[in-house]
Amino acid sequence: MAVQINPSILSADFARLADEARAVEGADWLHVDVMDNHFVPNLTLGVPVVESLHKATETPLDCHLMIADPDRWAPAYVEAGAGSVTFHVEAAAAPVRLAREIRAKGARASMALRPATPVEPYEDLLPELDMLLIMTVEPGFGGQAFLDIMLPKIRRARKLIDKHGLDLWLQVDGGVSASTIERCAEAGADVFVAGSAVYGAEDPAEAVRRLRKQAASACAH
């Protein structure tokens, strides 16, 4: 299982996004949190910013859509250059159709679960996805405390993925840091989003390398 570290630009300086993207070269993906002030209380950025960011960095973009009506808006993020597009199942009217559309347009399709959303009802949908995101905080803001109570869900998701022999990445997002990443890796996650733990560090690139090392050695156990 290859570990991937995706810094979240939510914790970066929004006036210097191109520089902030370059500050974490060596990261696997750049995690871009799109919030619409409807699905979550916060408001961030949209398609034009993703388009510009895509031109400004070689790092592929992992767009996490925390928006209402992703069925309508998600395809535009693929067109804007996102390599992976995550929609929330709680917001999607037709998640299977949407995942297929994202894939058909050429991006990886990913589905996110809020903390109170169980994974089991979606077992049959997993083959339609390239990644499953288990939120380890309530979506909306960076810098929140990691929810330990999500660890059993990560374990159950990993079991379902293995049971079906799927090539599906398991991402965790929220409160992932040097003090929580090992628990996530041991539970079966392989893609780690980190906002404040990367951009709040003195040297963001070094923070990425450290998190990767920690996760890789925890995975090996």
Q: Give the residues lining the site for ligand DX5 (CB under 6 A).
A: 8, 10-11, 31, 33, 64, 137, 139-144, 173-176, 193-197
36: contact with Zn ion by CB under 5 A = no
Instruction: List the single partner that 11 binds among Zn ion, ligand DX5, none, CB under 5 to 8 Å by kind.
Output: ligand DX5
Catalytic entry in 28, 62, 173, 190: 173
33: contact with Zn ion by CB under 5 A = yes
173: contact with Zn ion by CB under 5 A = yes
Instruction: Give a three-class secondary structure readout of the chain.
Output: CCCEEEEEHHHCCHHHHHHHHHCCECECCEEEEEEECCCCCCECCCHHHHHHHHHHCCCCEEEEEECCCHHHHHHHHHHCCCCEEEEECCCCCCHHHHHHHHHHCCCEEEEEECCCCCCHHHHHHHHHCCEEEEECCCCCCCCCCCCHHHHHHHHHHHHHHHHCCCCCEEEEECCCCCCCHHHHHHHCCCEEEECHHHHCCCCHHHHHHHHHHHHHHHHCC
Instruction: List the single partner that 196 binds among Zn ion, ligand DX5, none, CB under 5 to 8 Å by kind.
Output: ligand DX5
Which is nearer to Zn ion, 127 or 143 (by Cβ)?
A: 143
Which is nearer to ligand DX5, 127 or 185 (by Cβ)?
A: 185
Which is nearer to Zn ion, 28 or 173 (by Cβ)?
A: 173
Closest CA to 159 of 170, 171, 174: 170
Shortest Å distance, C-beta 166 to ligand DX5 = 23
Which is nearer to ligand DX5, 85 or 194 (by Cβ)?
A: 194
Active-site residue, 190 included: no
Is 166 exposed, middle or buried (CB count within 10 Å of its CB: 0-12, 13-18, 19+)? middle
Give the CB-nearest residue to Zn ion: 64
Q: Among all chains, which residue has been given the structure tokens 């090996």?
A: 220
Shortest Å distance, C-beta 174 to ligand DX5 = 5
Active-site residue, 33 included: yes
Catalytic entry in 28, 33, 36, 130: 33
Subset of residues 128 to 147 that bind Zn ion, contact rule: CB under 5 A: none
Give the CB-nearest residue to ligand DX5: 195
> Distance (Å, rounded) from C-alpha 29 to C-alpha 87?
17
Which is nearer to ligand DX5, 67 or 109 (by Cβ)?
A: 67
Residues noted as catalytic: 33, 173
Residues that bind Zn ion (CB under 5 A): 33, 64, 173
